[in-house]
Chains A and B, each alone.
Chain A
Amino acid sequence: MVTSARAPVALGLLATLLAACAPELDARASRVEATRVLAVRSEPAEAAPGGAVSYRALVADPSGTLASAAIDWAFCTLPRPVAEANDVAIACFRRSADWIVPIGVGEGASGKLPLNGCRQFGPDVPEGKPGEPAGRPTDPDATGGFYQPVRLILGDSDADYVLALGQTRLVCGLPGATREVLEDFRARYRTNENPTLASVEVVHGGSTDALTGSDASAPTRLAPGERVLLRATWPTCPVTATCGDAVCSADESAASCADDCTTPHGCEGAESYVAYDVATRSVGPRREAMRVSWLSSAGAFDDDRSGRAGDDLATSVEVAFTAPDAPGRVPVWVVLRDERGGVDARAFAIEVR
């Protein structure tokens, strides 16, 4: 799967020498050429089973953001069989079934998370038939997370539809942990906060300007074929516990820092958190990696995505963008994701002339 412009070039070099040759597939993840779901945001980003959540999808086509997409939203309660390699059982994309829990139709939807989330998608023993031995719990991801799937079907026709998977991070226990570790984890873990794109800027000609929103009447102008840098920035989050910084970190509590933790809230950037390590069976600190997806319906980004690893304290990423040769208004979307399933997305516009 070719997801970057660099890989085919390197593979092409190699083909003349030794290696297998990859075909040049024109499709780029950053190019919106058809109706696509670009992001699904759960609010809150992390909740316990039974908790109320609302969802909103960013849907776009080459003309721009689709403001009123009729999306069929539903929770799926069917675990993924280990024989399937995807994130979710493919049966979750049926329009109706015993394991499909509809929550609405529209651009967004809201509902309460199914109560069996931690059994079906978490560390608790899954529900089985009476008399059967215990089932196999679901494994967490590298951040220790478990996720309730919500499936999206856009389009009424069986022949022309768009499928997408949204997920809400679940507040569950820990797989196989001792009581002490579990208590430690519950005391120190802070639920995830959706990140926020603080700014998206365009750097050209020695100046830096904010990229204009999609609804701007005078969008950012670029010359045909002009090459610029786009920079996405997110808020800075504290790395060490500091009482009074408005973030209740892992090592703070309502007793030690009432200001931050009486009503615990997180940070809208790369948050620090504790995670359970299944190998050492202990709780340890981590920091979220951040990813930015760049999308447009014309022009070309050098890379489809940019990001910062968890140990990289920088709070911005850049990508080079080459404006299309043809003049016109070019929609641009920027999606910021944190490592625990949080997301923020914004639509922008560029005028090429």
Chain B
Amino acid sequence: MTVRHPARLVGAALALALSSAAPREAQALGGSSAGETPTRQPKLTKAPKLLHFVEAAYPESEVASGKTAAVVLAIAITDAGKVSEVVVVTSAGAAFDAAAVDAARQFTFEPAEIDGKPGPVKITYRYEFVLHVEPAGPVVNFEGVVRDRFSKKPLAHVRVALEGAGEVETDEAGHFAFEDVPDGPHAVTLSGAGLTTVSTSETIEKGKKLTAKYTVEPKEDAEDGADLEIVVVAPKIVKEVVSTEIKAEEGRRVPGTQGDTLKVVQNLPGVARAAFGSGQLVVWGAAPQDTRVYVDGVRIPLLYHGGGLRSTVHGDMVKSIELAPGGYGAEYGRGLGGLVTVQTRAPRSDRLHGSVSLDVIDGAAMVESPLGERTRVMVTGRKSWLDRSLGLVTSRDVGDFVPIPSYWDSQAKLVHDLGPNESIELFALGSSDTLRRTVTNPDPAQTKSEETLTAFGRVALTYRKQTDDGQSLFVTPSFGRDHTSSVARFGGAPTELDSASWVYGLRAGWRGRLSDSVVATAGIDVEAATSDLSRRGSVTLPPREGDITVFGQAPGDQVNFDSWSTTIASVAPYGQLDLTPFGDRLHIVPGVRVEPYLTSGSRVTPLKGETPSIGFAREETAIDPRLSIRFQASERVSVKAAFGTYHQSPQASDLSAVFGNPKLGVARATHWLGGATVRLGETLTAEAVGFYARSHDLVARSQAPTPLLAEALVQEAEGRAYGGQLLLRQELAAGFFGWASYSLIRSERRDHPDLGWRLFDYDQTHVATIVASYELGHGFELGTRLRYASGYPRTPVTGSFFDARRDLYEPYFGAHNSSRVPAFVQADVRAAKRFTFGGDEQPVRLEVFVDVQNVTNRQNPEDVVYSFDYKSRGTLSGLPILPVFGARAEW
């Protein structure tokens, strides 16, 4: 048997009353008397605060009685917060009085203030004695700490709800505790006012105390600590078995990104280095168009502006970006390759904020503000000026020789809170790239001109609701417009392509717990696009993957034309279960996605004479099973595996009866992957993943000398990619973050069943990246990025012939993709200095940085070029040393 004073004793005792509030003790006790000259009454401006409480021992002599007692004390506190006198006002008996007085003498207080200055006061204090007999075994059998994910600081006021045991808030030390939690599994929900509620489960074993560590990720705007998103780390709810998520703040600081958060994707494991000026995403050996990009669940056609200079979404809008290179769950589909999901953040609600960023490439601005109590809005905009700034330092229009795009993008987000965990969001984004250049030549057949436009826009409305029991629901209807236009001339041969599409989408999902060991996800993913296209030019332009050609080779001069329209739609209901039969240690996540694809077009054969066009429509239903398994083998080691099938509809531009094939159907792929993660420390993890991906029914050019009518493209190709990746990652802690990754990937294609396997055009067998950034203190920051990547495959030229009509040499080739561009090795450095102006209330932060690419000025080969007759060759090298200076101010 033990005697214990409950914690509520203190709370009850602090029902204090001020007996006086005067600078002098006499006045404090007596007050002003009648007849005296009226003077201003001293005013208590701050009550004393108990800083150090000493628990009084329950008198042994009274234990037998077991009674509850209360002693009322008068405590005199000095202007230093010390207890100068304790007087019993209401006695509960000598033993209780003595114990209470003895304890109270040891109290210390934060001094009271009178008229704004520390002063002595006297208070009354009720001290209650309650005898409790504790049961056997630990009372607290579930406790834990909630910390900031990055700073590792404890977080207070996070609500932790335990199914069947109530709810507590974390204290100042981030600590929470539950007592007498019944044995068995319990749902744990971490939430807070305005927070995203996240649930997990814990299993309480009889007679044992469970200690958990949770880390939470404050949103960037949560300066007041009131706006948090919770990320449960142990046990963690994992969306995809293999994925890399980068926080916006980290992404902005990676060298080589020039402060662009989303450009960090190019440095993640499994991603090939984009060729100079391309910005293409090649993930796990998949074609760039096979990796789909979503912003808040809405697909966008391009993650980067032309040339890969910038992303199409402003970094200030981004909360995080996640790359799942393969094996992802049933929520997403329509792509044979990887998945990039960008999450935007909610506008801050406290006051007006903004930012301005400037460098030699472009300028950008962001402003966000609350609109009333429950509504917030954020607007961003960016405009490039590289095409003009280069003109200031060159005497010639450099765009004549290298395409320098002119671009802009803008986003807006409005969030209206309907309730504590219920909101509606309106999100809109737009992006446009234009490029114009003309390379004149005394020979009209060598004159080149190019004018391209790539633009898209999206508007999405999202309703979200999360219930206290952890269920979540969202509905996102969206629509948008894609427009690409390209007009190029090489001599007299035109190449024109125009594609305008209306894009419609609906994504809705529900997630909730069905039982202690089953969490279900269900939803529907609808996407439809109606496109009008026209194309004029050579059937071999633009080049496709698998074309045997070399840099600088003159395009063909044959010309044809087609205009056609298509509708490509699919409705995909999906479902997924998260089964935890043995608690959080094992997650088995089966899922399925059933997706009927509807493809229709205006023309199944080319126009001929007066024959009217005959359209086509067909439906193919794809059933895509997905399965992922994650097993926490020990506290530090988890293993994982995944399998999934994926389908992808043909591209509208390939459905031309003249240039493509209207009969193209959906292509399919299967992903297998497995790996392990070892947590080496609180913020240091190592991960190894192996994968194999097989794809079928890929589109390639017909290999036939005389392809059938309307079959310039056929679906006879197949692909395979296999390999692995290693990642050692230090998350942001103590000012340092970084990662080292190595990917060993082989990607191959077979264009026809009778042909052998060849290297995929985008294969990069070895890709190694080291990224590190460290805060030096005093606002200085230094980072570096080191990269090594195999060169892209190329088909060697073994000879040439002279085309006498066109007066040019044309090459003939050796084995397809049997050589490579030499390897790429580059080091980049980023240095930044941050300044803070203004007060703590509304500080203005300024960051100036220099992002130096290729600090060693290495002549990195980007491609192989040949002389006019293909008898000699050299390499086209990429960027020389290039410092990009920039500044960013935010408030």
Contacts and interface: CB of A to CB of B under 8 A. Distances in A.
A52 interface: no
B709 A142 contact: no
Interface string B433-461: 00000000111111100000000000000
Contacts of B867: 1-2, 25-27
B802 A20 contact: no
Interface string A299-318: 00001111111101000010
A44 to B, nearest CB: 14
B877 A27 contact: no
B800 interface: yes
Contacts of B706: 79, 120, 126-128, 135-136
Contacts of A18: 390, 398, 402, 404, 879, 882
Contacts of B402: 14, 18-20
B576 to A, nearest CB: 41
Given A18-B402, A20-B876, A279-B561, A28 B807 contact: no
Interface string B592-610: 0000000000000011111
B539 interface: yes
Given A3-B446, A13-B394, A165 B872 contact: no
B865 interface: yes
A278 B710 contact: no
Nearest to A28: B868
Interface string B676-710: 00000000000000000000000011111111111
B770 interface: no
Contacts of B700: 83
A278 B560 CA distance: 6
A283 interface: no
B703 A81 contact: yes
B880 interface: yes
A223 interface: no
Interface residues of A, number: 94
Interface stretch (A213-221, A230-238, A254-262, A334-342): A334-342
B539 A82 contact: yes
B492 A179 contact: no
Interface in A76-130: 78-90, 93, 120, 125-128
B548 A84 contact: yes
A343 interface: yes
A167 B804 contact: yes
A289 B445 contact: yes
B557 A291 contact: no
Interface string A30-41: 000000110110
B143 interface: no
Given A86-B810, A307-B443, A136 B866 contact: no
Contacts of B552: 1
B276 interface: yes
B705 A78 contact: yes
Interface stretch (A4-12, A199-207, A243-251, A322-330): A4-12
B803 interface: yes
Chain B contact surface mostly: loop
A176 interface: yes
B548 A85 contact: yes
B492 to A, nearest CB: 4
| Residue from the set B393, B442, B712, B862 with the largest chain A CB neighbour count within 10 Å | B442
A147 B803 CA distance: 12
Contacts of A57: 804
Contact of A125 (B442, B709, B811, B882): B709
Interface string B794-829: 000001111111110011100000000000000000
A141 B558 contact: yes
A319 interface: yes
A37 B804 contact: yes
A167 B802 CA distance: 12
Contact of B802 (A26, A37, A126, A339): A37
A139 interface: yes
B810 A335 contact: no
A20 B878 contact: yes
A307 B880 contact: no
| Residue from the set B276, B445, B493 with the largest chain A CB neighbour count within 10 Å | B445
Given A18-B879, A83-B702, A139-B558, A133 B708 contact: yes
Contacts of A84: 540, 548
A177 B609 contact: yes
A176 B606 contact: yes
B325 interface: no
A279 B536 contact: yes
A307 B444 contact: yes
Nearest to A279: B561
Nearest to A175: B560
A127 B708 CA distance: 10
Nearest to A31: B868
Contacts of B708: 128, 132-136
B442 A10 contact: no
B709 A135 contact: yes
A263 interface: no
A182 to B, nearest CB: 9
A163 B801 contact: yes
| Residue from the set B536, B561, B712 with the largest chain A CB neighbour count within 10 Å | B561
B556 A87 contact: yes
B471 to A, nearest CB: 53
Contacts of A278: 536, 559-561
Nearest to A163: B801
Given A81-B704, A291-B445, A306-B443, A166 B876 contact: no
A99 to B, nearest CB: 9
B549 interface: yes
A29 B708 CA distance: 38
Contact of B493 (A13, A28, A133, A142): A142
Contacts of A163: 799-802
Interface of A: 1-4, 7, 10-11, 13-29, 36-37, 39-40, 57, 78-90, 93, 120, 125-128, 132-136, 138-143, 147, 151, 162-167, 175-179, 278-279, 281, 289, 291, 293, 303-310, 312, 317, 319, 335, 337, 339, 341, 343
Given A2-B868, A20-B876, 9 more contacts: A17-B393, A25-B865, A27-B872, A83-B703, A135-B709, A142-B494, A278-B536, A305-B443, A343-B805
24 contacts: A4-B446, A11-B401, A14-B394, A17-B398, A20-B876, A25-B872, A26-B867, A27-B871, A39-B804, A82-B701, A83-B548, A86-B803, A87-B806, A89-B705, A133-B709, A135-B706, A136-B706, A147-B805, A163-B801, A165-B805, A178-B609, A289-B492, A303-B442, A335-B807
